[in-house]
Amino acid sequence: MAKIFCVANQKGGVGKTTTSVNLAAGLAKLDQRVLLVDLDPQGNATMGAGINKAELESSIYQVLLGESDVAGARVRSEAGRFDVLPANRELAGAEVEMVSLENRERRLKDGLAAVDADYDFILVDCPPALSLLTLNGLCAAHGVIIPMQCEYYALEGLSDLVNTIKKVHANLNTDLKIIGLLRVMFDPRMTLSQQVSNQLEQHFGDKVFKTIIPRNVRLAEAPSYGIPGVTFDPSSKGAQAYIAFGAEMVQRIKTM
Ligand code: ATP
Ligand code: MG
């Protein structure tokens, strides 16, 4: 049975997609069977995995509206050695079109149920909003991974996300829990980064992942080649960190 994780933070540009794509590739390197779900109309995870979002025959949009199943819409990322349920701008329409549908917040969960046996991990890259799309991700998941930059405003907005997760847990999905906060784009030369990082550890204890993802230009360059950073330059510090994070996640699911 697959373990399903949302990579979520309603703040924009905090490293959700970079984390989703590189964790997927890191887990694949550890021989895990992975499906990466792109739940963002920006389609960044799709492109970052090397799939052209402009040429999709079907996508997550059709899955959410019940016009395709996941098996019919998924594509293979050869570069990352994982499967992708891709997205493009069309998905923005689903937000509105789903409102009138039955079980509107459980459409993704229902779709993923049919491919559960095919994977060890299903990773969902959420959009930067606490929207109906993100709600679909949270209803489908066993846990949430929250990427955070160690900066002054990092904690602002975190309580909104935590409250949303609590509400979903109470009303819609009792499986859901916060797996952890992932420190990303970390710059050890900055005193402030160290301070915020220490504060996170003090406040959240073992809810903070041990692995820290450094700021690394190779991770930022990789998407323009349509290759996950982990595959693009496996020896880079960023790639090594995401592989270590993959190993940490493999350990975590053993105790779930
Ligand atoms: P959005 O909210 O728009 O979906 P996001 O949270 O998915 O954004 P990303 O797209 O992953 O964030 O990252 C934002 C930018 O930061 C991108 O240009 C990405 O390449 C860069 N970036 C992410 N992580 C790192 C890192 N560890 N080192 C250097 N650059 C990074
Ligand atoms: Mg993104």
Q: Which helix (H) or strand (E) holds 27?
A: helix 16-29
- Which residues sit with their C-beta closer than 6 Å to ligand 1? 12-18, 40, 42, 44, 128, 184-185, 213, 215-216, 219-220, 238
Q: Report which ligand 1 atom has the smallest distance to the Cα of 215.
A: 28
- What does the angle CA 111 – CA 166 – CA 253 come to, to the nearest 5 degrees? 60
* pLDDT one-digit tens code per residue, 103-159: 999 999 999 999 999 999 999 999 999 999 999 999 999 999 999 999 888 788 888
SS3 state at 229: helix
Span from the CA of 220 to the centroid of ligand 2 (angstroms): 13
CATH dotted code for 3-254 = 3.40.50.300
Pocket test for ligand 1, best of 17, 19, 21 (most atoms within 8 A of CB): 17
Q: Whose CA is nearest to atom 23 of ligand 1?
A: 15
Which two tokens mark 30?
């550890």
Instruction: Please tell me the predicted confidence (pLDDT) of residue 174.
Output: 97
- Ligand 1 atom at shortest distance from the alpha carbon of 238: 27
Cα 178 to ligand 2 centre (Å): 19
Q: Which residues surround ligand 2, an ion (CB under 5 A)?
A: 16-17, 44
Domain ranges of the chain: 3-254
3-state secondary structure of 79: coil
Q: 76-102: buried (b, 16+ CB within 10 Å) or exposed (e) per residue?
A: ebebbbbbbbbbbebbeebbeebeeee
Q: Can you tell me which atom of ligand 1 is nearest the CA of 147?
A: 6
pLDDT at 256: 85
Which residue lies with its CA nearest to atom 13 of ligand 1? Answer: 15
CA 241 to ligand 2 center in whole angstroms: 19
Q: Where are the alpha helices (DSSP H) in 172-254?
A: 191-204, 217-221, 229-232, 237-254
Q: What pLDDT is recorded for position 157?
A: 83
What are the tens digits of pLDDT across the range 200-223?
A: 999 999 999 999 999 999 999 999
| Tens of pLDDT, residues 190-201 | 999 999 999 999
Kindly report the pTM of this predicted structure: 0.98
Closest-lying ligand to the alpha carbon of 21? Answer: 1
Q: Is the pLDDT of residue 248 over 90?
A: yes
* CA–CA distance, 14 with 231 (Å, rounded to integer): 21
Residue 241 pLDDT > 90: yes
